[in-house]
Structure 1
Amino acid sequence: MRRGLELAALGPAVGDHARVGAVILSPEGDVLAEGWHKGAGTPHAEVDAMAKVDPEHLRGATAVVTLEPCNHTGRTGPCAVALLEAGVARVVYAIDDPGADVHGGADRLRAAGLEVVSGVLASEAEAFLERWLLSVRLGRPWVTVKWASSLDGRAAAADGTSKWITGAAARQHVHEQRAAHDAILVGTGTVLADDPSLTARGDAGELLADQPLAVVLGDRAVPADAAVRRHPRGLVTLPGHDLATSLGALRGHGVHSVFVEGGPTVASALIAAGLADEYLVYVAPVLLGGPRVALGDLGVGSMPARRRLDVLSTTALGPDLLVRARPQHPGPPEHPQHLDDGATLDHHDDGSTNDRSTT
């Protein structure tokens, strides 16, 4: 199973699929083949592995898979049926598939007389697939909220300028994180104020191989000549002010993870609504003072209501510090907040942001 997780990591980290690995064992316990899911529309891991074995050697074999074999017909056929037809005698997997349409493969295999064992290295598999599992279970993408700030928590100077708060290493890390998510989200104010490209780029400004889907949140129209309309992955606009509904709509676009760079208003609204799953905070060793804080109102009126975080890691990026953290007890507040489109957001291509309020 641990080898299966290693194989799963070979699959693409972004896209509308789970990363799954599989190992086929002979009745004597020898490895016959290995496989992994290489992306949406390609054979699933167990089918990929079985295709490398002569059919006569599959009879009586054991399939070790990191996720429960699927039980539905989508872009590919049900893996449970493929295992039955191949004559596999035993299936071992780590965690149940939470998808309502695909769950049930294990029951189907048991009903056909196969030995089925579940829960092997379940905690490791849960951690490996955490983004995808959350998106399927909650019906909305995993949300990473990012901001860059000075040591005193400012996202811009008093005059609104924010280039460059952080150094080159931190800015490049932001681009890598964009590429590691299915989508990048900003507000309409960001687009109108800064005309960002919302692409993931390398050190020389070249486009990286993996590009996030560009998502713009808000009611105002994106100009016809906006740079984001030339995004290589395309553009999705989400009107309205219900953040949970907007995030849920992204699941229809195959988005399992979203990188939020929408400025203090969008970031604060998501956090206040209990919709932030992870924080990436890039802190520069500078002091700015003034009113341009990195976050706005979070609905915290007193110390007992403060939002506690677990810091997972701190990483030096040149002169800057990256703090990676997660909520201790994520969840919506008693009175969920909505994004007020009366506030617009500035977004700069270094990944830093500042807030502008319209009148």
Structure 2
Amino acid sequence: MTDEGHVFMARALRLAERGRYTTDPNPRVGCVLVRDGTVVGEGWHQRAGGPHAERVALAEAGGRARGAVAFVTLEPCAHHGRTPPCADALIAAGVARVVAAMVDPNPRVAGRGLKRLREAGIAVEGGLLEAQAAALNPGFIKRQREGLPFCRVKLAASLDGRTAMASGESRWITSEAARADVQRLRAGASAIVTGSGTLLADDPSLNVRLAPEALGLAPGEAVRQPLRVVVDSQLRTPPTAGLLDLPGVTLIACTVEEPARRAALEAAGAEVLVCPTRREGPRVDLHALFGELARREVNEVLIEAGPTLAGAALQAGLVDELILYLAPHLMGDAARGLFRLPGLERMADRVALEILDVRRIGPDLRLTARPSSRG
């Protein structure tokens, strides 16, 4: 592929990025149509149920699409979902060649779109900037391939690794700039997960509080609120919890049948899900819960919780990425730590991490890492 081809695919990737906060549960996809070295149409998938990137680009190109090359970040679909197949639209428009960054992991597509294009006499190429295209949709890809969402754990701590004082006081460890950065993490997530301990101690909102313009949306456009999930084995969540009064859906995952408490929570607007328990005790089986979230088309999970739930998810092998905000102060050895990780007694038991990114957010540091076993 020529350098010019890389330029056009990079442009398609930038377009796809514009759907980061709006396409869920669909993947983020961009498309650029090029004829005689000139862009004649481009587009990105904006919302589930709306036109796909290819159809937006074709509508802009009109008759100029005939004989053009389509650069698309994900294989064109070949099935009828909420919209007709994009492969058929490209064939009908008379494009000469399609360059797809990656094959769609959705089993309903999985190469069928490219096959249909070839059978129609259209030249097909794949793999251009594939890693960058995959990085746009880690949750969609993992859900299709493994039946689980991509999971990030967000934590805020002092430089000595403390998340709250011994009294439980934790507001605010990090700066306003770091908290605004967390809002963007929330906006890109499909679901935000916390534990009952955090809910009872902090009464968190777990919602996105950014203005539409801060997310690149039009003024007044609705900001999508992720599903809120409370892992609450014994159903201790009070019906007066603040997050139950907010727009969006709250799911409470428990392990007990408590008809009266369940009825009170459902009357307050919650959905209650009774989950299987873990072998080692009466706690929610996180694998089963995450599998259920995937069945509900949850692509990306953001865990904002205390050391028990964060440690349990890490030890269960469910965590794909850690995002740690470190504030420039010390809180002392009586304060609470980041993770509860029972059973780590020797140096050989350590949880190995790979640092992916380090950057400054206001006065704080943001570290992005992944467990080495997830690499």
> TM-score with structure 2 length normalisation?
0.80
- Which shows bigger deviation, 319-328 or 69-78? 319-328
One of 310, 319, 325 as aligned partner of 1:267:
310
Partner of 1:78: 85
**Counterparts of 2:359 and 2:206 in 1: how far apart (Å)?**
24
Single out whichever of 298-307 and 96-105 deviates more from structure 2.
298-307
Alignment partner of 2:117 out of 83, 105, 109: 109
CA distance in 2, matches of 1:36, 1:317: 29
One-letter identity of the residue aligned with 1:215: V
Cα distance per residue 1:171-222 (max 9 Å; x no partner): 333233222322211112333343222122359xx99934322111233333
The answer to whether residue 351 in structure 2 is matched with residue 307 in structure 1 is yes
Q: In the alignment, which of 358, 369, 374 is matched to residue 325 of structure 1?
A: 369
Residues 203-249 of structure 1: per-residue CA shift (max 9 Å, x gap): 9xx99934322111233333322211122122122233211221121
Give the aligned partner of residue 28 of structure 2: 19
How far the C-alpha of 1:291 sits from its partner, in A, is 6.0
Which of 29, 39, 57 pairs up with 1:31? 39
Q: How far off is 1:158 after superposition?
A: 2.2
Output the amino acid matched with 2:228: A
Mapped pair 1:255 → 2:298: yes
With 292-301 and 102-111 compared, the bigger mean Cα shift is at 292-301
Distance 1:173 1:327, change over 3 A: same
Whole-angstrom CA distance in 2 between matches of 1:202 and 1:33? 31
- The number of residues matched between the two structures is 327
Q: Does 1:152 align with 2:166?
A: no
In 1: Cα distance, 2:285 partner to 2:141 partner: 23
2:278 — aligned with what?
A: none
SS of match in other structure, 2:88 = helix
Alpha-carbon contact 2:20-2:188 (below 8 Å) kept: no
C-alpha change, 1:298 and 1:145, in structure 2 (3 Å) is: farther
Partner residue of 1:129 out of 137, 141, 158: 137
Q: Does 1:236 align with 2:243?
A: no
- Tell me the TM-score normalised to structure 1 length: 0.83
Task: Provide the residue aligned with 1:89 in structure 2.
Answer: 96
In the alignment, is the contact (CA less than 8 A) between 1:198 and 1:231 conserved in 2? no
Is there any run of 5+ residues in structure 1 with no aligned partner, and where? 332-359
Is the 8 Å Cα contact of residues 19 and 46 (structure 2) preserved in structure 1? Answer: yes
Deviation at 1:118, TM superposition (A): 1.0
In structure 2, how many angstroms separate the alpha carbons of the residues matched to 1:160 and 1:90?
60
Asked if 2 retains the 8 angstrom alpha-carbon contact of 1:277 and 1:327, the reply is: yes
Rate the CA distance shift 1:47–1:317 in 2: closer, same or farther, 3 A.
closer
2:25 and 2:355 mapped to 1: Cα distance?
29
The alignment partner of 1:155 has SS state of strand
Give deviations 1:272-302, integer Å, cap 9, x for gaps.
0111111111223113212622211154332
Q: Which residue of 1 aligns with 2:226?
A: 212
CA RMSD between the two structures: 2.4
- Displacement, 1:109? 1.5
More helix by share: 2
Q: CA deviation at 1:268?
A: 0.1
* 1:42 alignment partner in structure 2: 50
**1: CA distance between counterparts of 2:204 and 2:44?**
36
